[in-house]
Structure 1
Amino acid sequence: MLKNGVLFLILFSLIGCAQIPVENQDDRDPLQTVNRPVYDFNMDILDSYILRPATVGYVAITPQPVRRGLLNFAENINEPVDGINAALQGKVGNAGVSVARFLINSTVGIFGFFDVASEIGLEQIDEDFGQTLGVWGVDDGAYLMLPAYGPSTARNISGDVIDGFVIPSIALSMPQSFLLFAIKALEARASLIPQEALLNESLDPYIFVKEAYLQRQVYDLYDGNPPLEEEVEDFDEDFLEEL
């Protein structure tokens, strides 16, 4: 899906929105008057009419082994990015795992279509530049809801831009980059379908998505072991494991 949401954000900022009730104000979300209309646009238009139908169709017509192979291939392409970020975070062991996974899966795993590395105990370790910035002490910054992109923060969107250019600009053409992005987007949306009831039953879906996203960022930043002072109230680790 599209990543360039700056124009939409500026437009909504110029139009202006109603004041947020005091009980819904959140220091982490100073742009809530902008973020909420963007969230509605994402869910009511883009997801309802484009992403969810495309995901349902993709799941229906693509055999599970093929889907798994395509996702393995896409994730394998990203292993060098994981390794670079692990090294930048001082996690030498994790960097070594990512390099080993890439070499094994690119050869024995036939260009990454088969995750042979996991079968021998080398599990994937997801690291991104947003996490790297967090390890370096950079704060999250404002929570952002971007058109077509979804939830992020000022820090993470900066990290995503860096990660998005590391491999595509070196090894992949634009069509190849788009294909990998589409595969990941479809699989990510498919993984959320079982959680839709939780979202639909929540009192405020916007807040539900925001809290789930911010909790996930803390969880990932601390490799699944966030310190108590960083944990969000009612931190639901089991739910995050399912996302």
Structure 2
Amino acid sequence: MLKKICAIACMLILGVSVAHASRSTYNPMVPRQLKIESAQKDYSYGYSILSGNAIDTLEVPNRVVGWTLNYEIFDRYLLRPVAHGYAALPQPVQLGVGNFFSNISELNNTVNNLFIGELKNSGISLTRFIVNSTMGFLGFIDVASQMGLDNKPMEMDTVLGKAGMDSGPFLMVPIYGPTTARAAHGDTADNWPYFFFPWYVGIGAWAIEGIHDRAQLIDQEGVVDNAIDPYVQTRDFYLMHNQGKVDPNASMQNEEPSVDESFLDEIDG
């Protein structure tokens, strides 16, 4: 969704700088190199290697098709006006909607934390889902946080990264927004809670969540609107943020201490 675009751009205010490696000998989609020949082969195809060993091999269609449709058309003429209208709703209503979708994501957090051996975080996520689904009226009220049970987010994209899979090619998908080959697979897996509902319910929930998240980023619209190259900055910060979840010590190394991670959390909603 285009909510990702404005969320990433807000990091520009904080003075984050981006560094690129010029070449790479690592296959972007192979978790482990099995042969010496493979390790010595150059898979960068002449492109700069971005965070997570991603390569923007599709920059032309990403710009001409994906970015134009997402930012110049979809966001400007549809999503942005709708988000501004949604932002006029009472704050308790918006908070309830956000809590509802956050509660659904606890199912993913439960499973994904289990995959990486975070048993405690998996248990907390399951407890949060049970508490908020019952005492919190289907999750519209975040009772668990009031009880001291903090959210432990974990996405399948991050799980795959921790398992050794690189980000792969960067993609700017129409309507959906910035992603990578790894993230696309991870997001598909994370959609499993909606498989139990009719397809039109899943699409409706996806649309409402996208509008809600986009409305939270209204204050950052000017940042992306006035950027010199919004596409490159969106791409780089998106990849840096995703890699930072996989290995916090390998990404965002130049980040200012005052950076608020809640801004970038909107990227993956």
In the alignment, structure 1 residue 195 sits paired with structure 2 residue 220: yes
User: What's the TM-score, normalizing by structure 2?
Assistant: 0.74
Change (3 A) 1:219 1:231: closer
Task: State the match for 1:184 in structure 2.
Answer: 209
SS of 2:217 mapped into structure 1: helix
The answer to whether 1:90 aligns with 2:114 is no
Q: RMSD over aligned Cα, in angstroms?
A: 2.1
2:195 is matched by which residue type in structure 1? S
Q: What residue in structure 1 maps to residue 10 of structure 2?
A: none
Is residue 26 of structure 1 aligned with residue 54 of structure 2? no
- Structure 2 residue runs of 5 or longer lacking an equivalent are 3-46, 50-54, 265-269
Q: Secondary structure at the match of 1:76?
A: helix
Q: Identify the residue that residue 242 of structure 1 maps to in structure 2.
A: 263
Higher relative contact order (CA 8 A, sep 6+): 2
Q: Which amino acid aligns with 1:99?
A: L
**What percent identity do the matched residue pairs reach?**
36
Structure 1 moving runs of 4+ over 4 Å: none
Once the two structures are superposed, residues 64-117 of structure 1 have per-residue CA deviations (whole angstroms, 9 ceiling, x without a partner) of: 101111221122122111110111111111111110000110111111110000
Q: Does 1:138 align with 2:151?
A: no
Where do residues 192-231 of structure 1 align in structure 2 (5 Å cutoff)? 192-222=217-247, 226-227=248-249, 230-231=250-251
**3-state secondary structure, aligned to 1:125:** coil
Name 2:41's counterpart in structure 1: none
For residue 221 of structure 1, report the CA deviation from its aligned partner: 2.5
Task: Confirm or deny that 1:168 pairs with 2:194.
Answer: yes
Distance 1:143 1:58 in 2: 31
Change (3 A) 1:234 1:36: farther
Q: Do the aligned partners of 1:83 and 1:94 also contact (CA within 8 Å) in 2?
A: yes
Contact 2:67/2:231, CA 8 A, preserved across alignment: yes
2:251 partner letter:
E
Partner residue of 2:136 out of 109, 116, 129? 109
CA contact (8 A) 2:86 2:215 kept: no
**Equivalent residues of 1:108, 1:116 under 8 A apart:** yes
Matched to 1:168, the amino acid is Y
Query: How many angstroms does 1:233 deviate by?
Result: 6.3
Give the CA deviation at 1:191. 2.2
Q: Structure 1 pair 198/180, CA: closer, same or farther in 2 (3 Å)?
A: same
Instruction: Give the corresponding residue for 1:15.
Output: none
CA contact (8 A) 1:59 1:190 kept: yes
1:52 aligns with 2:80: yes
